[in-house]
């Protein structure tokens, strides 16, 4: 009975992303620098602004990226945004850090 045949399993995440998309997201996580994870809302943009200001005040040059794709955000294990990623490690999530908080994290992690 072909009606009850076992379906071919395809590996994907919970949101039905393709395997290629998941592999690409995993490669993106390995990139050095700073990433802001979030939809692009006011809170995410404020966090990015505070990070840029902290870097400027500390005379540190690091690439900054903004990840808005929720499939990529999910690969970091982040469930609430905005989130701050430094060299592939999630260092904060669910909160808009102040400039001083960002400076503290950079001093400890760099």
- Kindly state the tokens that stand for 18: 């393709």
Q: Which of 14, 15, 17, 44 is catalytic?
A: 44
Strands 83-86 and 89-93, sheet pairing: antiparallel
CB contact at 8 A, 35 and 66: yes
Q: Is 44 a catalytic residue?
A: yes
Q: Which of 14, 15, 17, 41 is catalytic?
A: 41
Q: How far is CA 27 from CA 24, 33, 71, 73, in A?
A: 5, 14, 13, 13
Q: Which residues are catalytic?
A: 41, 44
């Amino acid at each position: 009975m072909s009606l009850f045949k076992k379906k071919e399993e395809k590996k994907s995440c919970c949101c039905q992303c393709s395997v290629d998309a998941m592999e690409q997201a995993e490669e993106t996580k390995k990139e050095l620098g700073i990433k802001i994870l979030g939809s692009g809302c006011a809170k995410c943009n404020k966090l990015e602004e505070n990070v840029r200001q902290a870097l400027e005040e500390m005379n540190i040059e690091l690439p900054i990226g903004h990840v808005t794709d929720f499939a990529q955000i999910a690969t970091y294990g982040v469930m609430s945004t905005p989130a701050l990623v430094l060299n592939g490690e999630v260092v904060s999530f669910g909160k808009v850090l102040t400039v001083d908080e960002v400076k503290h994290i950079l001093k400890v992690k760099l």
